[in-house]
Amino acid sequence: MDILILASSLAMLSYVIGVIVYALPVPYRPIKKLGMAFIIDAIVAMILITIYNVFIYVGDFILNLLNLTWLDFYRWLVSRTAVLVGVFTGLSYLLSMIKVSQYSFILSPLNLVLTYISLSLSALKIVYFLSTLIFKFRKELVLLGVLLYSLPFRIGKGVGAFLIACSIVLYVGFPLMPAFVSYFEGNIISSGNFGPTTIYGTIVDGAGNYLPYSVLLVYLKKVSSPHAIPSAVILTNDRGKFVLGDGKDIIPKNTTLYLRVEYLGYVFVPQPNEFIAKGFKKNIVLRVNSIIYSAGVALLIPFNYVLLNKFITGNLIDVTLKPISNNKVLSLTLIKYHSTPIYRIAINNKEYICNWSVLSWRGIKLSSCTLNIKLSNDLFNIIIFHESMEPKRPNVNQKRLLLLSGISDLIAGYISLGVSLLYSLIFLPGMYVSLLLAMSAALSRVLGGGIRIKLI
């Protein structure tokens, strides 16, 4: 509040100076008018000083009236930044991958997009800076404005009024920016070609549990032979999740992909096994019905049996199978990590002992055994007790899908993405900020300042 006292002393000084100029023994009308103007300025400055609290209140009042908060604005800004950084990282990854492939000729348009995105990031930085300045130093700006306004000889009148107006208009204006931008960018996003094909999915077993570190094989035509060379080999993560596209693969739209799942040395046909790549898809589930997996042990279900009941925990498989045909021989294959201890195998409450044979799959040592059981029952209840094991990661040389016909789509997608980001993150906020500044200038003229901002 010391500044307010200083400002009021300065206003008094300006007033006295005004009186002196008015009282000068010079019979020249413009000098008298100037003195009168000084006096009036001092009086207006004094009014502004006394209603300082109103300036602070007005901003909060309007914000509450519009039901807006600065927190929401910053959340919006952070989500925007996250989107940009995500696209930037994905694109950088793609560029580094393309650099070493035969498609290096598309580097320059993609570099252009990268430039757009870095430009958008810089623009966002300016918005961050301006908004933080207003949010943190609003009261100080009003004080400075009032102080400058009361300086003698109308030195800081324009700037002072502009600062006061800015602190009100920008304080209300910035939280309104998300509404403004979303209103104008809505059509762009819905009509635009927003990036290339991206598919997120999970590979699960017959019981619906994910298969950790399973291998997804992608073919471009129907395969009958298990030795066909896949167009892409993708390793899922420890929760069975995979990503196709998202800057890692180049897939043209409407391409039919034929999928297989390789797990513990076997190749399975998942459901669904055909997929038309189109736009953005998430939560695709590829179900491998002929395998039941439980932390280190897998049970292969023969094709002529169906799963009726299942109870699977970390160290127990308890399933009931029913034959589809009139088949009284159950050929059951068990696979486990070589180091997984098995405590009990029981089929219809009868104990069995397996003769394990060792095999290797992509650097993981496995054991497998096959039990051929003749049974009189219609239903087979199988119980396996074992030690719970952490999933092991196979050595897979991942091969991503790069299709030449998808490149034009990709470039078009990324360029339109870059342009829409440029539009929604540089053009719209830039226009909005200049609009706010123009409004501040208008308000400053109401307060007595004379700053004029010409937009064009």
Chain residues that interact with other proteins, rule: CB under 8 A? 2, 5-6, 8-13, 15-20, 22-25, 27, 32, 35, 39, 43, 46-47, 50-51, 53-54, 57, 60-65, 67
Q: How far is the CB of 13 from other proteins (least distance, A)?
A: 5
Q: How far is the CB of 240 from other proteins (least distance, A)?
A: 47
Report the residue number, 27 or 282, with the smaller CB distance to other proteins.
27
Q: How far is the CB of 76 from other proteins (least distance, A)?
A: 20
Peptide bond into 302 cis (omega under 30): no
Report the residue number, 77 or 151, with the smaller CB distance to other proteins.
151
244 touches 196 (CB < 8 A): no
Report the residue number, 17 or 396, with the smaller CB distance to other proteins.
17
Report the residue number, 56 or 228, with the smaller CB distance to other proteins.
56
Report the residue number, 156 or 323, with the smaller CB distance to other proteins.
156
Report the residue number, 59 or 245, with the smaller CB distance to other proteins.
59
Q: How far is the CB of 8 from other proteins (least distance, A)?
A: 7
Residue 217, token pair as written in the block: 């094989």
Please write down the HEC assignment for all residues of the chain.
CHHHHHHHHHHHHHHHHHHHHHHCCCCCHHHHHHHHHHHHHHHHHHHHHHCHHHHHHHHHHHHHHHCCCHHHHHHHHHHHHHHHHHHHHHHHHHHHHHHCCCCHHHHHHHHHHHHHHHHHHHHHHHHHHHHHHHHHHHHHHHHHHHHHHCCHHHCCHHHHHHHHHHHHHHHHHHHHHHHHHHHHHHHHHHHCCCCCCEEEEEEECCCCCECCCCEEEEECCCCCCCCCCCCEEEECCCCCEEEEECCCCECCCCEEEEEEEEECCEEECCECCEEEECCEEEEEEEECCCEEEECCEEEECCCCEEEEEEEEECCEEEEEEEECCCCCEEEEEEEEECCCCEEEEEECCEECCCCCEEEEECCEEEEEEEEEEECCCCCEEEEEEECCCCCCCCCCCCECCECHHHHHHHHHHHHHHHHHHHHHHHHHHHHHHHHHHHHHHHHHHHCCCCCCCCCC
Q: How far is the CB of 143 from other proteins (least distance, A)?
A: 15
Q: Give CA–CA dist 319/143, Å, rounded.
A: 76
Q: How far is the CB of 173 from other proteins (least distance, A)?
A: 17
Residue 44 has phi, psi (to 5 degrees) of -65, -40
Q: How far is the CB of 175 from other proteins (least distance, A)?
A: 14
Report the residue number, 32 or 400, with the smaller CB distance to other proteins.
32
Report the residue number, 151 or 312, with the smaller CB distance to other proteins.
151
Q: How far is the CB of 53 from other proteins (least distance, A)?
A: 7
Report the residue number, 43 or 82, with the smaller CB distance to other proteins.
43
Report the residue number, 63 or 235, with the smaller CB distance to other proteins.
63
Q: How far is the CB of 23 from other proteins (least distance, A)?
A: 3
Q: How far is the CB of 75 from other proteins (least distance, A)?
A: 19
